[in-house]
């Protein structure tokens, strides 16, 4: 228990301590950890200039041993009242600070790791064929995204423009996306880099990945349908990806680790389930304040350790600040689908909100908020905060 006035059931107690970057009123960006509804200025309490940087990258690069040392020291500061005189002057109310993108993002990869999501998409777009592609259960499918358009939660999202063509159109047309969607995802932040030419085995996942955040992957489905053959997502995905401002350390998620779902295919040795790095995260998606979905991350077919192993098996290296996302998190039930594409079944089954408004895809002014929690020690819950974004109109050319 902390000596601070933090409720015992707070999802941001000492069992969590997520890292972020904040700017106090009139101050420069710096690193902090969240405790309750406050942020601790780490540069002040730890006397380490690495935490006075505008991103967490320099700290993340120090590696797992240093991550553990810092976390242990923060726990000591927050649980031993003798340190109150040091900590109190370094506390900032969340309401008084501006939360920023916590890392300088290097490479960005987005996966497609939910069997339920991939099957739903297959049934929507390829109703007369098998829903999963032949390779899906043999390897984690992904694509390399655009790291420069990863933005922090609460950043407004402009409606993208591009080419689209329906089967009834004789030629493609250009204009704003009419089928703008969200994907509720979970992201993984790389701390320790790997050597080029040396794959990262699943057993070394926690040596390289520092922590976990939430992701709202905005998707223009009509642009995607026209452009993705033969090379996959491009402009339909690259305009914006929102992330939560808090990175929950892997060390805080030991009680959330679970086995992945049963396999019905023999996996190649480098992907076999040697490590239980499934995670029991409970997500919630709210559209204009109303809960529309509760996707369970525990149902994901591919684990983050398998994603990292596959991403590097060809010798590709990872660097500090690299970031990869899980792809849409969807469960087996309708109310567990993590995208509007699935919830409205490609627009054929509109969603009616409690105020009577109807949605198939996002309209200008809509706000999407994704939250999540995970089991902590005892009966506690680990909070991830939220990732939120509101849709603007199209920016004129």
Tell me the catalytic residues.
Answer: 117
| Contact of 321 with 105, CB cutoff 8 Å | yes
Q: How wide is the angle at C-alpha 289 spanned by C-alphas 336 and 366, nearest 5°?
A: 95
User: Beta-strand (E) ranges in 96-222?
Assistant: 97-100, 108-111, 142-144, 150-152, 161-164, 173-176, 180-181, 184-190, 209-217, 219-220
What is the rounded CA–CA span in Å between residue 246 and residue 330?
22
User: Beta-strand (E) ranges in 323-366?
Assistant: 323-325, 351-352, 358-359
Among 31, 40, 47, which residue's Cα sits nearest to residue 12? Answer: 40
What is the rounded CA–CA span in Å between residue 239 and residue 233?
11
Helix or strand holding residue 31 (H, E): strand 30-35
Residue with tokens 């509720």: 184
- Burial of 167-202, coded b for 16+ CB within 10 Å and e otherwise, reads eeeeeeeeebbebbbbbbbbbbbbbbbbeeeebbbb
């Amino acid at each position: 228990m902390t000596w601070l006035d933090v409720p015992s059931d707070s999802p941001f107690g000492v069992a969590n301590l997520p890292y972020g970057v904040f700017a106090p009123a009139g101050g420069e960006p710096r690193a902090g950890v969240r405790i309750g509804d406050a942020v601790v200025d780490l540069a002040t309490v730890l006397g380490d200039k690495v935490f006075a940087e505008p991103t967490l990258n320099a700290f993340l690069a120090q590696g797992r041993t240093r991550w553990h040392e810092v976390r242990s020291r923060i726990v000591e500061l927050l649980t031993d009242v003798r340190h109150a005189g040091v900590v109190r002057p370094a506390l900032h109310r969340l309401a008084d600070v501006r939360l920023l993108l916590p890392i300088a993002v290097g490479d960005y990869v987005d996966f497609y790791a939910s069997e339920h999501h991939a099957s739903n998409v297959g049934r929507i777009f390829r109703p007369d064929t098998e829903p999963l592609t032949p390779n899906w259960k043999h390897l984690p499918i992904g694509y390399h995204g655009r790291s420069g358009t990863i933005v922090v939660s609460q950043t407004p999202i402009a409606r993208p423009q591009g080419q689209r063509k329906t089967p009834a159109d004789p030629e493609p047309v250009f204009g704003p996306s009419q089928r703008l969607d969200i994907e509720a995802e979970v992201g993984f932040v790389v701390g320790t880099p790997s050597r080029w030419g040396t794959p990262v085995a699943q057993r070394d996942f926690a040596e390289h990945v520092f922590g976990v955040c939430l992701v709202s992957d905005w998707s223009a489905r009509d642009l995607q349908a026209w452009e993705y053959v033969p090379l996959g997502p491009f402009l339909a995905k690259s305009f914006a990806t929102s992330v939560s401002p808090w990175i929950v350390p892997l060390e805080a998620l030991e009680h959330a680790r679970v086995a992945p779902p049963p396999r019905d295919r023999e996996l190649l040795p480098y992907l076999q389930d040697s490590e239980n790095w499934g995670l029991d995260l409970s997500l919630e998606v709210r559209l204009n304040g109303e809960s529309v979905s509760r996707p369970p991350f525990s149902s994901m077919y591919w684990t983050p350790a398998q994603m990292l192993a596959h991403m590097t098996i060809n010798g590709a290296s990872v660097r500090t600040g690299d970031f990869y996302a899980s792809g849409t998190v969807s469960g087996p039930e309708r109310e567990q689908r993590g995208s509007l594409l699935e919830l409205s079944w490609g627009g054929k089954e509109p969603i009616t909100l409690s105020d009577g408004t109807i949605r198939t895809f996002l309209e200008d002014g809509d706000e999407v908020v994704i939250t999540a929690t995970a089991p902590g020690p005892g009966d506690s819950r680990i909070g991830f905060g939220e990732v939120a974004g509101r849709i603007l109109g199209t920016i004129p050319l």
